[in-house]
Structure 1
Amino acid sequence: MQTAEKHPPINVNDVFQLTNIGIPSNEVTWSRVSMLSDRWICVRHSKNNDPKTKASTSTLTVVNLKKDCEYTSYDGGMTDSVLMHPSEPIIALKAFMKFEVFNLDTKTLISKTTHHEQVLFWTWLNSDIIGIVTDMAVYHWSLWQEDSSPEKIFNRHSRLEFTEIVSYQADPTLKWLALTGMSPEEDRISGITQLYSVDEEITQCINSHAVCFALYKFCDNLYPSTTFCVGSRDSQDHGKVHVIELRPYHKGNFAPRSSYDHVQFRDDYDKYDFPISLQVSSKYGLLFMITKYSYLYICDMETAVCLSCTRIIMDIIFAVTLNTKTQSILGITRSGQVISVDLRKDNLLSNLRDTAKLSSQVTRLEKAILNS
């Protein structure tokens, strides 16, 4: 169980307000607004705030988070979904079953394809590959292979049949893939993740609401490991954070890790709260778990122990990414507010000392702070 801290371990700062640039507040939603990295926010919205405007006259607005939130709007035409490249000025457009990818600087078409199945979810897996999820299978589309079509990678598991797909992720080597879906039940939102091993062609289903992959060098290991982090709400007000080291294991490292800790959800706001995002700061050895109703759980990557639980803001958060510069997080709320949640490292250390929790983590954090 997490207790209130004497000193808040985070600062929350306003970065940008999407509604201030003509984006209707009712269109600040998960399906229209994406933030796949700390470089861009991309929005598909109606023109001139006209509620009668149809999707065929939509506008695409791209906000550059690295350039004082400068934004540019484009005619969206028949586009029904849009995603920005994680790091480059490249935009991917979807219109029904057609996909096109453009370089915004050169105004040139990079690649295009037409898929033969209805697409339920899609995302950039890395700088080169777009993942495409249909009702039956998962595909990868490699952009730099001329006239390439999406390649089928694996079939969806039957346990995800009646879920809404909310996430598809890969480890840096593309050897491990994770597809996550959610579905409403009588008294909660349930989540399930299909973890797929490309080398072994084996699927494992895990009860989870949010997952992520990260390269992390465990204490005393010689080499970084591929880790799979899982956040779930199991029943009532209890949940779990799990950190698992995946194969292949590096010779010279200690035995593979698999650590977990129980967390308590605070239902003073809504009993349907659940994790929506996990982000890893490899620099500080911290795992950030963020819930729909804006609770931030800060956990130790070495042990999965929950170090802190803090309410970020009185609003719903639906998009989160790691701020690579500050090693903290950026989030977008349902009201269109873009916020920066920055770690107050001294306060976190002070709270840990006061609770006599994880002296080893205090030592590691102190070293990381001194070296930052």
Structure 2
Amino acid sequence: MQLYSVERKVSQPIEGHTAAFTQFKINENKKPSTLFSFAVRGPQGGKLHIIEVGMPTQQNQPFQKKAIDIQFPAELSNDFPIIMQTSAKYGIIYLVPKCGYIHIFDIESGTLIYMNRISIDTIFVAAPYESTSGIICVNRKGQVLSVSIDEDNIVSY
């Protein structure tokens, strides 16, 4: 991947399989920050990176970079992240590896909130599902899968 800064007119190569941009407001900040998240699987394992791009808005505290390990089941040693979408409403990242698992991460802390297999077949495309602030995916067999947060079962912490 290559990240290009319009402000500075420079590009930066980034090792990654999938990425997403999002506007995210940290609790103590007055304005949202532009965040770039990307995921990669290398010989040492998988990583999710969340960084702020561009200059922080005046009066905002900069976002603290995150580098989070991504857990892959041992029997899926060739699995790697292929899809990433974000939900600004819930402040989460949806990450889908090739072998059909869903990983849901909290943007601000980088904490893995949920992980489960949603398809035994390869998922090859996904898009934001605006009506639920979730994602909608299609697997190799043509099944359409929807993943979203159930607001009635959110536990405050």
State whether TM-score is above 0.5.
Answer: yes
Using the TM superposition, give the Cα deviation of residue 347 of structure 1 relative to its aligned residue in structure 2, in angstroms. 5.0
Aligned to 1:230: 38
CA 344–235 in structure 1, closer or farther in 2 if over 3 Å, else same = farther
Give the Cα separation in 1 of the matches to 2:34 and 2:26: 10
Whether 2:60 is the aligned partner of 1:248: answer: no
Checking the alignment, whether the CA contact within 8 Å between 2:21 and 2:37 is kept in structure 1 is: yes
Aligned to 1:149: none
Checking the alignment, whether the CA contact within 8 Å between 1:267 and 1:273 is kept in structure 2 is: no
- Mapping for residues 168-183 of structure 1, pairs under 5 Å: none
Question: Whose helix proportion is higher, 1 or 2?
Answer: 1
Give the Cα separation in 2 of the matches to 1:327 and 1:247: 26
| Per-residue CA distance 1:106-131 (angstroms, 9 max, x = gap) | xxxxxxxxxxxxxxxxxxxxxxxxxx
Whether 2:73 is the aligned partner of 1:261: answer: no
CA 267–328 in structure 1, closer or farther in 2 if over 3 Å, else same = same
Using the TM superposition, give the Cα deviation of residue 313 of structure 1 relative to its aligned residue in structure 2, in angstroms. 1.3
Whether 2:105 is the aligned partner of 1:326: answer: no
DSSP 3-state at the match of 2:22: strand
Whether 2:115 is the aligned partner of 1:313: answer: no
DSSP 3-state at the match of 1:207: coil
CA RMSD of aligned residues (A): 1.7
Using the TM superposition, give the Cα deviation of residue 199 of structure 1 relative to its aligned residue in structure 2, in angstroms. 2.2
Using the TM superposition, give the Cα deviation of residue 229 of structure 1 relative to its aligned residue in structure 2, in angstroms. 0.6
DSSP 3-state at the match of 2:99: coil
Aligned to 1:303: 109
- Mapping for residues 24-103 of structure 1, pairs under 5 Å: none
Using the TM superposition, give the Cα deviation of residue 346 of structure 1 relative to its aligned residue in structure 2, in angstroms. 5.2
Using the TM superposition, give the Cα deviation of residue 256 of structure 1 relative to its aligned residue in structure 2, in angstroms. 3.3
Checking the alignment, whether the CA contact within 8 Å between 1:219 and 1:302 is kept in structure 2 is: no
Aligned partner of 2:148 among 342, 346, 360: 342
CA 194–254 in structure 1, closer or farther in 2 if over 3 Å, else same = same
Checking the alignment, whether the CA contact within 8 Å between 2:33 and 2:63 is kept in structure 1 is: no
- What is the percent sequence identity of the aligned residues? 34
Normalised by the length of structure 1, the TM-score is 0.40
Q: What are structure 2's unaligned runs of at least 5 residues? A: none
CA 348–273 in structure 1, closer or farther in 2 if over 3 Å, else same = farther
Normalised by the length of structure 2, the TM-score is 0.91
Give the Cα separation in 2 of the matches to 1:289 and 1:208: 13
| Per-residue CA distance 1:190-248 (angstroms, 9 max, x = gap) | xxx11111221212112211101111111211001111011111225x21111111112
Aligned residues: 157
Using the TM superposition, give the Cα deviation of residue 345 of structure 1 relative to its aligned residue in structure 2, in angstroms. 4.4
